[in-house]
A and B are shown apart, each in its own frame.
Chain A
């Protein structure tokens, strides 16, 4: 089911949280809403499922305008961050609840519950109560309950936030698998960029109630529309260096770093900001830059270095763990200039 938000606006009293957002999600697509805390991700999600009434604009499922349709009639499955399982019911009753509300026969309910429990691999837990389940199992129950009545749309509000690192990894691929198998249109709210990149077809990055960019994960990684987006995607994060460019030559204010750029803004001095991803600053890079290592973080397979320029600006570098530089060491690594991202004063991509 295609979802379309048209000039969707949401305000709480006099506070406008979302202002005229446009968003189209194709049938069977999984889209991530990614953004910092408080940017309006949950608000958008709750508007789609009908918990929040829209203050302006329209929400369409397919060609049907659902802006004023009550939640109960929207046929949207929601997985809440806290899972919101019903503690007094067993797992089977939890999953079967939406069907029971529809007054389906007990035999039908039992059959469908079994089916969906099989899909999310909790077939052996049906008689337990939520308090007797681990976080990951609860998560699967919540997913099963959201899916059991074959909703048109599946909404997930930070479904992995409460899980430990290993389970998170596992559930990431699980959710994606289930979404693919059921072909359901899904929206995933998260503030974890890895989650967004690994699970979704497209990512919509939000900031202060607006969508700043929507694109496929790699496309967005390689071609961020602004320094905000560039800063949000990538782990370890991109490093920014501020300076001016004249005649295609970039220099920081103190002259601590100069590189020539494949970008000619003419004679006139122009303030710009360079974004350099850690993987493009390394020994053997094309344009050498001098600096001193201020921080080393061994991550096992790779090692992350913070390199301070003379004026204090920081570059980051990530290298395979074979290289053994230590804190305090002076290095002269190079930047892959053709991979540098350039932004103007306002943060827009050049």
Chain B
């Protein structure tokens, strides 16, 4: 590769700036498999004990695998709900003659403006009233509902860019409105669906406050709550254990990133030229 400027000063500058970050990541990982004497920065022995949560259940805690499964179910379910509703509602708002369209759009926006925390007491009371407190279903519904405004807006924006003639052509070709949406319109907004799906999944994976308040029980605990409980527990304070669980927590995200980064870029996103 040739470039019209020298690249090493740039690399050097970026390197210097990122050193603290890189060090943090390195130590995060190193600390999970070693022991370091107090006061020292160089570890003196290797150990697997910080990963013991993988093969034994910590006292008073749910099994890590239960928590992982819960997190996975939580993130996946919210993603599916968000995708299903956003992709249909966005289409309806973009294309169909729904009554109160402008009102809906503005309302959806305003809803999104509420910080979760301001709503959490009310949500807590409602969930308790309808018996969904301390259930995954309850917290999934709440999380999905809070994610929806964003999803609907994004999808509406993408649907707006799909030419109207394409749909009309589909109808002329004999397809029903639903088929047109599924076979002709949806593929055009696939990049948006993928992106929205990934965002929702990550948002679900890292969500903390909702599960903490609405589903704290061991049976339904998710990883973020599990992790927080580790440092909240003053009696058995174990920083290295905390770090190990933290690494365990982000690994799926990194795997997902590696898997999708190529995919996101290669999604077909062309249009017709005149």
Contact = CB atoms under 8 A, between A and B. Distances in A.
Interface of A: 49, 51, 71-73, 76-78, 80-88, 97-98, 101-102, 129-131, 135, 138, 145-146, 149, 162
A60 to B, nearest CB: 19
Contacts of A149: 173-174
Counting chain A CB atoms within 10 Å of each CB, the highest count among B170, B174, B268, B273 belongs to B174
A135 B174 contact: no
A72 B274 contact: no
B179 A84 contact: no
A336 B198 CA distance: 77
Nearest to A98: B173
B274 A162 contact: yes
Given A49-B172, A72-B171, A80-B165, A87 B179 contact: no
A145 B169 CA distance: 10
A145 B268 contact: no
A180 B173 CA distance: 22
Interface of B: 163, 165-166, 168-176, 179, 184, 187-188, 268, 270-274
Given A87-B271, A131-B273, A72 B174 contact: yes
17 contacts: A51-B168, A78-B169, A78-B172, A80-B165, A80-B168, A80-B169, A81-B165, A83-B272, A84-B166, A85-B166, A86-B169, A101-B174, A101-B175, A131-B271, A135-B274, A138-B272, A145-B173
Given A101-B175, A149-B174, A84 B270 contact: no
Contacts of B179: 101
A129 to B, nearest CB: 7
B169 A88 contact: no
Contacts of B166: 84-86
A80 B272 CA distance: 13
B165 A84 contact: yes
A135 B272 CA distance: 10
Given A84-B272, A88-B188, 7 more contacts: A51-B168, A51-B172, A72-B174, A76-B172, A78-B172, A98-B174, A149-B174
Given A78-B172, A98-B174, A102-B174, A88 B268 contact: yes
B164 to A, nearest CB: 9
A97 B179 CA distance: 11
Given A101-B179, A130-B272, A131-B273, A82 B172 contact: no
Contacts of B272: 82-85, 87, 130-131, 138
Nearest to A76: B172
A216 to B, nearest CB: 29
Contacts of B268: 88
A81 B163 CA distance: 12
A287 B274 CA distance: 50
A260 B274 CA distance: 52
Contacts of B184: 86
Given A51-B168, A135-B274, A162-B274, A84 B163 contact: yes
Contacts of A102: 174
B168 A84 contact: yes
B188 A72 contact: no
A306 B98 CA distance: 56
A98 B172 CA distance: 8
Contact of B173 (A51, A88, A97, A135): A97
Contacts of A82: 163, 165, 272, 274
A13 to B, nearest CB: 13
Contacts of A135: 273-274
A21 B174 CA distance: 27
Nearest to A81: B165
Given A98-B174, A131-B270, A87 B169 contact: no
B180 to A, nearest CB: 10
Contacts of B187: 88
A-B pairs with the 6 shortest C-beta distances?
A84-B165, A98-B173, A84-B169, A131-B270, A88-B187, A80-B165
Contacts of A145: 169, 173
A146 B169 CA distance: 9
A48 to B, nearest CB: 11
A101 B173 CA distance: 8
Nearest to A138: B272
B166 to A, nearest CB: 5
Contact of A77 (B172, B270, B274): B172
A71 B173 CA distance: 9
Contacts of B271: 87, 131
B97 to A, nearest CB: 13
A267 B212 CA distance: 102
B43 to A, nearest CB: 53
B52 to A, nearest CB: 50
A125 B274 CA distance: 17
Given A80-B169, A131-B272, A72 B163 contact: no
A78 B163 CA distance: 16
Contacts of A86: 166, 169-170, 184
B172, B175, B179, B274 — most chain A CB neighbours (10 Å): B172
A76 B173 CA distance: 8
Contacts of A84: 163, 165-166, 168-169, 272
B189 to A, nearest CB: 10
Contacts of B163: 82, 84
